[in-house]
Structure 1
Amino acid sequence: MSEHEATKRIWKRLPGTKGIRFFEHAIRKHNRRPDRYFSVRWTRNGRDVEEGIGWSSEGWQTDTIIDARHTLQKNYKRGLTPSTFAELREEQEKQRRAREAADAAENVQAMTFREFFERYYVPWKRDRRKRRTWLDDLKRANHRIFPFMGDLPLDAITSELLEEYMDELYADGLADGTVLHHIAIVRSVFNRAANTTVHGVKVFPGVSPVDGIELPRSDNPRTRYLTRDEADLLLQSCREREADAPRESIAASWRDLHDAIVLSLNTGLRLGEIQRLEWADLNFFGQTLTVRQMRDRKPGGTVPLNKVVTDMLKGRLAVRDKSTPLVFVPKGAGRYRKISHMFRDLVLELGLNADVTDSSQKLVFHSLRHSFASWLALAGVDIYRIKTLMRHKTITMTMRYAHLIPDASRGAVELLCAPPAASPKVLYLHHAKTADGPVY
């Protein structure tokens, strides 16, 4: 049977309706019945016209047709659109394309650094550069870049995270030139992402985070740490903004920032470690948390928790989102960025970086980790214990805090200002028999 014969139009009126009719396909079935094509007869601009609707296999059924016709008739009388099934199909198609575009945009903008690097950056560079160049980039990315930021969405990688990344490279003993090589790769990836369009959506429409950093010199590491008053001001400001927030989502963001500050100040955790922290990493009985040892990442280990942190984490546990293992739950791709950006904006608002011209001495989220170590040093904790708590690979990185540890040197030189003590009496052994008491 030919297609023409299969679709021979024997029109029938749709029972229970007025002006709606159909014919059946001789071969094609839908829900075990012949597929039906529907049409409607109505008056438009003073003329009786018939308009095709569509097949039942396309979703058209008696109730949907009646409802749609009723809506279209009302629109026609009011001079609104859509007022015909053709206009309705056109509108539905626009909505479908808009949904697909929105889904594509969401998927594209959630693309991780690793995914973009492997799917788009490497093929692009391989086609334009020498083999050795892109192979070197791939080697450096696998060894040091991916472990730090590979699984983060591109728009979650901030200037602050890159500064933390550079601190870790220097802590591993890398020279300035090597650090520059790694940052150059990151810069190139973001530049490429800004010029790459996938499904009509630009992969990275923002400003490259590399543009917001200055490479620190190896002899000028970041040493700024908070005073106790500055820390109290930050935490109190977070609590006030949480209380005054107009919506729960905003209040939750300030609560996250407050708790992240508390956690870093009392444990020395890095921002990335806080972001990756899971409830399974916590041991409330032993009052410790575990930073997991991951390939090519900074050293993991067990971190002791004081009462302040324990109470804070128990409070979060009571209201945790059980659908995720994360302690700090990201709400979409931008959530990671929000903590660091909120901290930056709060510091700016409070004037904690006022009159600071050296970018390496500006207060950033990573300064909380420096504050943890500095406070330990000021409290007299020995340098090797600080190294353990900071999980440094070598003592070299920890020695930046050594000058803060109180020592006996000042007391020793102050002895020179004291009056000379009386010369002690010398007792010779042959006089021992006249001395008071025994001689040892």
Structure 2
Amino acid sequence: MIGSKRYGSKVQLNYLKGGDISYFIVYKSGKKTIYKKVGRKSEGINEKKAIELRNQILSELRHGIDLSQKSMKTLTLDRLAELYFASIAAHCKSHDKYKQEYERHIKPAFGDIPIAMLDDILIQEFQAIKLSDKKSKGSINQYIKGLKRILNYAIRKSIISHSPFKEIRMFQVDNSRLRYLSLKEVQLLQEEVQDHLLLKLVVKISLSTGARINSVLGIQKKHIDQENKTVQLYDHKRKCWYVGYLDQETFHLVCDHIQEFGINDHVVSTDGKKTKYADVYKLLRLIFDERFNQGLDKKDRANRVVIHTLRHTFASHLAIAGVSIQKIQKLMNHKDIKQTMKYAKLSPDSGRNAVEELYKG
């Protein structure tokens, strides 16, 4: 026997009379070296199939799963989910969220079904049921993405060789938010939060920097550059730091507030401890719903005012003021200028004035 040119000693080839080839795989089981015959070329076996079988056997040994054809008919999604969540528990911040979504939505529908019995029809039925339960299309897409993460993990670990689904069709969702606050609405919002220090800090910093709420809540005293009136912001989406600017009023508000704070204390707080997103969200949602969302459907993402609207308001008023799209991209820390182009229509150079004057003598 000779080793495979592609896979080395892991796959062994025995050339037979008549031109046929027998394939063997080699692996360790405990202290023993196992030589296992896979089959012949004339039977449809090749080096790729041999290495795939070897990977499955090694995965079986690692995970304690019987990967024989008989067992694959009984291996359930719950078992794969158990392995997946155990693998991400230590290093994935979204572990709890993903696991909760699985247990609430995916497990009741698919958990005890053998992997071999999952198919596209079951996904379509799941989507229909969730729609009837008044779940948004965006939320349903998230549940299915969670299912995909589990299956992709199992494929990467060679626990299964392929997904049981042929083509999962996701819902088309318009996630664009068109709404931004007018100058009068900005003034109204600032009046509403005037007597609530934490909300006032959140609103002022958000409108001055355009930062996402998690970035705002993460600001510490050491991130404030009092000489240049700037703030270091961490973009959790892009996983990088960038610089934001504080207007005069916000700068003095922040500096006065953190005067007695320690260098590592969080700015949006009363005691230096980081404020929880949920605490800010609940209070601001009440204000938004009462002042700006009256009569709007809860699923009207385009027009409802939410915390993220403050970010859109920042960018929108920059565009209205004639700031270049390139500068807005930098201030928003957008990776791709395509993300920023939606604000171009608000620019005074968008062509509106030219159209207004087009046929006037």
Please give the range of the TM-score, normalised by the shorter of the 2 chains.
0.5 to 0.7
The equivalent residue for 2:324 is 382
| Alpha-carbon contact 1:224-1:370 (below 8 Å) kept | yes
The equivalent residue for 1:392 is 334
Q: Take 1:405 and 1:285, find their aligned partners in 2: how far apart are those partners?
A: 31
Residue type at the aligned position of 1:302: V
Residue type at the aligned position of 1:180: Q
Root-mean-square deviation (CA), in Å?
Answer: 4.0
Q: Take 2:171 and 2:328, find their aligned partners in 1: how far apart are those partners?
A: 23
TM-score (norm: length of structure 2): 0.53
- The one-character-per-residue Cα deviations of 1:97-141 (angstroms, maximum 9, x if unpaired) are xxxxxxxxxxxxxxxxxxxxxxxxxxxxx9972437843895699
Q: Take 1:385 and 1:221, find their aligned partners in 2: how far apart are those partners?
A: 21
- The one-character-per-residue Cα deviations of 1:229-278 (angstroms, maximum 9, x if unpaired) are 11111211222xx3xxxxxxxxxxx2110111000011011111111111
| Alpha-carbon contact 1:293-1:301 (below 8 Å) kept | yes
Percent identity between matched residues is 26
Of residues 208, 217, 234, the one that matches 2:189 is 234
Q: Take 2:360 and 2:208, find their aligned partners in 1: how far apart are those partners?
A: 41
TM-score (norm: length of structure 1): 0.44
Q: Take 1:307 and 1:333, find their aligned partners in 2: how far apart are those partners?
A: 24
The equivalent residue for 1:172 is none
The 1:393–1:330 alpha-carbon spacing in structure 2 relative to 1, beyond 3 Å, is farther
Question: Which 5+ residue runs of structure 1 have no aligned equivalent?
Answer: 1-125, 155-175, 189-214, 243-253, 420-440
The 1:183–1:288 alpha-carbon spacing in structure 2 relative to 1, beyond 3 Å, is farther
The 1:336–1:293 alpha-carbon spacing in structure 2 relative to 1, beyond 3 Å, is closer
Of residues 355, 364, 367, the one that matches 2:295 is 355
Of residues 209, 214, 217, the one that matches 1:272 is 214
Question: Which 5+ residue runs of structure 2 have no aligned equivalent?
Answer: 1-74, 100-137, 151-169
The 1:334–1:389 alpha-carbon spacing in structure 2 relative to 1, beyond 3 Å, is closer
Of residues 176, 182, 187, the one that matches 1:221 is 176
Instruction: Tell me whether 1:283 sits opposite 2:283 in the alignment.
Output: no
Of residues 370, 373, 386, the one that matches 2:312 is 370
Q: Take 2:346 and 2:87, find their aligned partners in 1: how far apart are those partners?
A: 41
Q: Take 1:229 and 1:326, find their aligned partners in 2: how far apart are those partners?
A: 30
Of residues 315, 326, 331, the one that matches 2:266 is 326
| Alpha-carbon contact 2:213-2:307 (below 8 Å) kept | yes
Kindly report which structure 2 residues correspond to 1:68-147, keeping only aligned pairs within 5 A, or say none.
Answer: 129-131=78-80, 134-135=83-84, 146=93
The 1:236–1:228 alpha-carbon spacing in structure 2 relative to 1, beyond 3 Å, is same
Structure 1 residue 311, shift from structure 2 partner: 1.1
The equivalent residue for 2:354 is 412
Structure 1 residue 417, shift from structure 2 partner: 2.3
Q: Take 2:171 and 2:189, find their aligned partners in 1: how far apart are those partners?
A: 26
| Alpha-carbon contact 1:300-1:391 (below 8 Å) kept | no
Q: Take 2:207 and 2:267, find their aligned partners in 1: how far apart are those partners?
A: 17
Residue type at the aligned position of 1:237: E
Structure 1 residue 347, shift from structure 2 partner: 2.0
The equivalent residue for 1:300 is 241
The equivalent residue for 1:255 is 197
- The one-character-per-residue Cα deviations of 1:140-189 (angstroms, maximum 9, x if unpaired) are 995xx62xx6799x9xxxxxxxxxxxxxxxxxxxxx7996258747xx9x
Kindly report which structure 2 residues correspond to 1:310-321, keeping only aligned pairs within 5 A, or say none.
Answer: 310-320=251-261
Q: Take 2:200 and 2:238, find their aligned partners in 1: how far apart are those partners?
A: 26
| Alpha-carbon contact 1:299-1:392 (below 8 Å) kept | no
The 1:339–1:217 alpha-carbon spacing in structure 2 relative to 1, beyond 3 Å, is farther
Structure 1 residue 348, shift from structure 2 partner: 2.5
Structure 1 residue 299, shift from structure 2 partner: 3.8
- Count how many residue pairs are aligned between Structure 1 and Structure 2: 225
| Alpha-carbon contact 2:204-2:250 (below 8 Å) kept | yes
Choose 383-392 or 403-412, whichever is displaced more.
403-412
The 1:415–1:236 alpha-carbon spacing in structure 2 relative to 1, beyond 3 Å, is closer
| Alpha-carbon contact 1:140-1:182 (below 8 Å) kept | no
The 1:385–1:288 alpha-carbon spacing in structure 2 relative to 1, beyond 3 Å, is same
Residue type at the aligned position of 2:336: T
The equivalent residue for 2:106 is none
Kindly report which structure 2 residues correspond to 1:170-249, keeping only aligned pairs within 5 A, or say none.
Answer: 180-181=142-143, 184=146, 218-239=173-194, 242=195
